[in-house]
Structure 1
Amino acid sequence: MEYLQTQGIRLPRLGLGTFRLQGDACRVAVEGALGLGYRHIDTAEMYGNEEAIGDAIAASGVAREDLHVTTKVWHENLAPDGIRHAFDASLKKLKLDHVDLYLVHWPSKRMNLPAMFETLAMLKQEGFTRAIGVANFNLALLKTVVEDIKAPIACNQVEYHVMLDQTPLRQYLAAKAIPLVAYCPLAQGRVASDPTLMAIGRKHGASAAQVALKWLLDQDGVAAIPKASRAESQQANLDAQNIGLDDEDMKAIAALPKDRRCVNPGFAPVWD
């Protein structure tokens, strides 16, 4: 497993996304992934599965120092006391004494950025989270956080895949040595039936999804967190790391349309 170094933590470049995994199914999926070698688990208070993930971690036998756990605060809880309350609840459900990365899940029109990051910085200073960061921040918001507030963010987690261009955002993050963590890296399954990706996959004895995932992991400063509940899919995602895409493959992928956004709720910021 490759890692990205950011704000004092080692972030495994391939993690397990858990959105929409619930209850026993979530616990079994996470425990299985840890058994296969995953060491990066991504969750959020909004997912409603932190308790199941905590059970899986406790049962896995994986040493805490070998594990990276990310969770997130929902956009309705960004007042300082709201962050504190949400964080305490998340930590209790996860049955941990700290998380590795705590993210603002979505920006809010009502958020007070300085107060918000002061609270997050205190959680880090107190040792409850090893690093802080953001998710779903557009370029304008990101610049405010990095350049004006000077918050030590460890990543920006955003939707990113072969069907959605994130070049301006990715270039800015790279210039600041801040990783981009790609969620929906398989475009919610849409990559699996793409003829171009399928053809590239046949050439390498791989699936279209594996090709799409390797395309992300080949980019400097990018990590990916595909959701996978079945052991076969989890192993396939791990195996994607071994594919070698060539220049011809990269040109074919570059020619694909890049305007397919899968996640765009009404409270999302205006995308650049």
Structure 2
Amino acid sequence: MSLDLPDIGLGTSGTKGHECADAVATALDAGYRFVDTAQMYDNEPAVGAGIRLSEVDREDVVLASKILPDNLGYEDAKRTGRESLDRLGVDELDLLYVHWPTGAYDPEESLRALQELHDEGVTRNVAVSNFTPELLDEAREILDADIAAHQVECHPLLPQDELREYAAEHGHTLVGYCPLGQGDIFDTPELQAVADRHDTTPAAVCIAWAVETEALVPIPKSATPEHIRANLEAASLDLTEEDMATIDGIEERRRLVDPDGAAWNQ
């Protein structure tokens, strides 16, 4: 049974301490019900504090974290997966990802650890991030649990057609980070044109495009209350078929997160 994720989530990369906790509480009180963090972000305690600060019950929040690449050896993955619970101050995660298939990642050992963390109740669902179709195939062969989500960079200039089709075919959700293209894509003429039609911003158009797209959930990050609320409001923006065709007709492709060690560069 696939995990039913909300239409939009809050990314927390780059925020820490009180700023992060306030952003999480603001987002939840505004209506978000999906929060994404990672061991790499060094902010799990703040994310947990933000959940407790909000008026929303923990049970109503989809909470995700990711195992640091250097922690993906079997023993380290098992230990640090549980440590993430302690840092967050929760009894279980809703999603636990392999963050990058790099560093200490070994398919058999890393995924065995993830499967055991699932079986032991540390996480309700297992997930992966920054995988290729080939690595997804391999993971699906190794895991007993279904992959619930695959997180990758995704926005109108990197629509990830192949991975979206893969997600739809295999029953998981593509979770899109950098859904606003880090703001670097707002001057794209097609996005500007659609924004002008709706008297809104290219940022809102990017969010609405993601929400309208099959098997895709965007997780924009922001620590600014106005932007947090605006991103949530954008999820309700109705784009027409013409709007979607305009956006899908963008020919330029731009990847913003592209480390040399990424699987697609091997």
Q: What TM-score does the superposition give when structure 2 sets the normalisation length?
A: 0.94
User: What is the CA RMSD across the aligned residues, in angstroms?
Assistant: 1.7
Aligned residues of 1:102 and 1:129 also touching (Cα < 8 A): yes
Name the CA distance, whole Å, in 2 between partners of 1:262 and 1:111: 23
Match status 1:12 vs 2:6: yes
Residue 180 of structure 2, aligned match among 175, 178, 186: 186
* Long gaps (5+) in structure 2: none
Q: Is 1:64–2:79 an aligned residue pair?
A: no
1: distance between equivalents of 2:79 and 2:178?
28
- Assess if the C-alpha contact under 8 Å between 2:112 and 2:143 holds in 1: no
Task: Map Cα deviations across residues 234-270 of structure 1 (whole Å, 9 max, x no partner).
Answer: 1111111222212222222122134200001122112
Shift of 1:192: 2.7
Identity %, equivalent residues: 38
> Which runs of 5 or more residues in structure 1 are unaligned?
none
Instruction: Pick one of 106, 120, 130 that aligns with 1:126.
Output: 120
8 Å CA contact 2:64–2:96 kept in 1: the answer is yes
Aligned to 1:32: 26
- 3-state SS of the aligned residue for 1:114? helix
2:227 maps to 233
Read off the aligned partner of 1:94 and give its amino acid letter: L
**In structure 2, how many angstroms separate the alpha carbons of the residues matched to 1:73 and 1:149?**
16
The question of whether the paired residues in 2 share the 8 Å contact of 1:54 and 1:94 is answered with yes
SS at match of 2:264: coil
What is the Cα deviation at residue 56 of structure 1? 1.0
Contact 1:180 1:222 in 2 (8 A): yes
Q: Which 4+ residue blocks in structure 1 deviate beyond 6 angstroms? A: none
Compute the displacement of 1:149 (Å).
4.8
Letter in 2 for 1:195: P
Q: Is the 8 A contact 1:191 1:212 kept in 2?
A: no
Q: Relative to structure 1, is the Cα distance of residues 271 and 243 closer, same or farther in structure 2, using a 3 angstrom cutoff? A: farther
Question: Which residue of 2 is the match for residue 257 of structure 1?
Answer: 251
Aligned partner of 2:86 among 70, 86, 92: 92
User: In the alignment, is the contact (CA less than 8 A) between 1:138 and 1:271 conserved in 2?
Assistant: no
* Cα shift readout 1:40-62 (whole Å, capped 9, x = no counterpart): 00000000111111111112131
**C-alpha separation between the residues in 1 aligned to 2:121 and 2:144?**
20
Aligned residue identity for 1:139:
P
How many corresponding residue pairs?
A: 266
Q: Among 103, 106, 121, which residue is 2:97 paired with?
A: 103
Alignment CA distance shift 1:69-1:263 (3 Å): same
Give the match for residue 242 of structure 1. Answer: 236
Residue matched to 2:154: 160
Contact 1:117 1:151 in 2 (8 A): no
Provide the residue aligned with 2:35 in structure 1.
41
216, 233, 238: which is aligned to 1:222? 216
Per the alignment, in what secondary structure is the counterpart of residue 155 of structure 1?
A: strand
CA distance in structure 2 between the partners assigned to 1:130 and 1:19 by the alignment = 22
Shift of 1:222: 0.9
CA offsets 1:140-171 (integer angstroms, 9 cap, x no match): 11111124555521111000100113111211
Contact 2:153/2:178 (<8 A) preserved: yes
CA drift at 1:178: 1.2
Structure 1 equivalent of residue 75 of structure 2? 81
Do 1:191 and 1:209's aligned partners in 2 also have CA atoms closer than 8 Å?
A: no
